[in-house]
Amino acid sequence: MSWLRVHLKMQQGSFELDAQFSAPPVGVTALFGPSGSGKSTLLRCIAGLEHGEGWLRVNGEPWQNETTFMPVHKRPLGYVFQEASLFPHLSVRANLEYGYKRIAAAQRKVQPEQVIEWLGLDRIIGRGDPVSLSGGERQRVAIGRALLVSPELLLMDEPLSALDTQSKQEILPYLERLHRELQIPMLYVSHDMGEVARLADHLVLLQNGKVIASGDVHETLSRLDLPIAHFDDAGAVIEAAVAQQDEKYHLTRLDFAGGELWVSKVEQPFGTKVRARVLARDVSIATQAPHGSSINNILNARIEEIRDEGADKVMVRLRVGEAQQLLARITRRSRDHLALVEGMYVCAQVKSVALM
């Protein structure tokens, strides 16, 4: 599983990066942490844009160790910067094909026409001047440009954070599509919980230059010992599939390992895989199945862990079915009134589900 293995250190003024983690060869690994946690510096070290100390192996190949430092242009990676950074002196197409032209024909697994189709660039590819593009369009060209070097590893440094909400919404579906359809492992730096919940399979949490946790996104997001589970927008991610459409009430049933959820109608065919996010603040707990509730989604769950959160709240980790975790944020008073303890079977009432 350790396709990518990293132990890199770097001193920048008073800030010290000392990060160690590994990542699998598939899917999106999110490097997540508050600003100043060193996630961007770590990504730049992995790319070779910064020369830290330590070692880095990708796919069995040493990119860096005591004796080796592979220069950036020799590393088989693609890099998307926070700002699109298109070359202003080149046309949109020349930007897109800048890297493509610089790799050997035999290594070109991705073709420009494919990328234009994937990223919906057909309308903008003919524009001469990249300055005329919108922020979102520029970033799509930048992503396409990075894909066209047929990278073994795609590095993204907060590619959406410089964009407005609308442009973000415009690009996210493309990123999800890349995630689903391309077999390129991605390292994705972000400080946005929503993006991580939406895209990541694997999560590396950084704090003050250190990796404090690394693992599967579902498990890591529901670990109550980590600060991430106590954010205001903490919650669980559920992988589900479209199972039934209710035309009359305009609802869709989603099935997941351990239960089902009714959500507002999803215009997707039967069997389509979707990712849902259930925030801890939208889950309440009842000791018996409630009667006369307006809540559609009531799941049988087992309390796995309870942890105090602040003076008035507790965070409850629930297991639904075999493996699915849910988080519920309730008051300390409710915990005591209901006499909730670990190991107890309860009903989790899910007030809302965000589809991604």
Partner 1 sequence: MMTVLTPEDLQAVTLTLKLASITTLVLLCIATPLAWWLAHSRSWYKGLVSAMVALPLVLPPTVLGFYLLLMMGPQGMVGEITRAIGIGALPFTFAGLVVGSVLFSLPFAVQPIQNAFEAMGKRPLEVAATLRATPWDRFISVALPLARPGFLTAIILAFAHTVGEFGVVLMLGGSIPGETQVLSVAIYSHVEAMEYSEAHWLAGGMVLFSFLVLLGLYRVGGNWAKGAR
Write out the E strands in 59-151. Answer: 61-64, 77-80
Our CB check for partner 1 shows the closer of 73 and 123 to be 73
Between CA 304 and CA 210 the distance in angstroms is 28
* Closer to partner 1 by Cβ: residue 155 or 315: 155
Q: Which residue has the tokens 């993006």?
A: 195
In the complex, the smallest distance separating the C-beta of residue 347 from partner 1, rounded to whole angstroms, is 51
Q: Which of 73, 123, 180, 291 binds partner 1 (CB under 8 A)?
A: 73
DSSP E strand stretches across the chain: 4-12, 15-23, 28-32, 53-58, 61-64, 77-80, 153-157, 186-190, 202-207, 210-216, 235-246, 251-256, 259-264, 273-279, 283-286, 297-309, 313-320, 324-331, 345-350, 354-355
Q: How far is the CB of 100 from partner 1 (least distance, A)?
A: 9
Among 138, 145, 202, 218, binds partner 1 (CB under 8 A): 145
Residue (of 141, 138, 354) closest to 263 by Cα position: 354
CB of residue 38 to partner 1, shortest distance in Å: 18
**Total residues interacting with partner 1, rule: CB under 8 A:** 22
Q: Give the nearest distance from C-beta 152 to partner 1 in angstroms.
A: 13
Report the nearest approach of partner 1 to the CB of residue 114 (Å): 18
Of 83 and 176, CB closest to partner 1: 83
For partner 1, the closer of residues 70 and 241 by Cβ is 70
6-65 positions binding partner 1, by CB under 8 A: 47, 49
| Token pair recorded at residue 55 | 């070692």
Q: Candidates 16-24, 73-81, 197-205, 298-306 — which segment interacts with partner 1 by CB under 8 A?
A: 73-81
Q: How far apart are CA 235 and CA 196, in angstroms?
A: 12
Q: What is the DSSP string of 136-161?
A: HHHHHHHHHHHHTT--SEEEEESTTT
Compute the least distance from the CB of residue 85 to partner 1, in Å. 5
Nearer to partner 1, 78 or 136 (CB): 78
DSSP 13-64: TTEEEEEEEEE-SSSEEEEE--TTSSHHHHHHHHHTSS--EEEEEETTEEEE
Contact (CB, 8 A) for 287 and 301: no
The one segment of 74-82, 182-190, 202-210, 280-288 that binds partner 1 by CB under 8 A: 74-82
Contacts of partner 1 in 148-207 (CB under 8 A): 149
- Contact string (CB under 8 A) for partner 1, positions 75-104, x = contact: --xxx-x-x-x-xxx--------xx--xx-
Q: How far is the CB of 346 from partner 1 (least distance, A)?
A: 50
Nearer to partner 1, 58 or 205 (CB): 58
Torsion, Cα of 46, 87, 189, 44 (10° steps): 20
- Tokens for 137? 């369009």
Does the footprint of partner 1 cover residue 70 (CB under 8 A)? no
Residue 105 touching partner 1 (CB under 8 A)? no
For residue 72, CA distances in Å to 28, 46, 60, 118 come to 21, 9, 17, 26
Residue 156 or residue 242: which is nearer to partner 1 going by CB?
Answer: 156
**Residues interacting with partner 1, by CB under 8 A?**
47, 49, 71-73, 77-79, 81, 83, 85, 87-89, 98-99, 102-103, 131, 145-146, 149
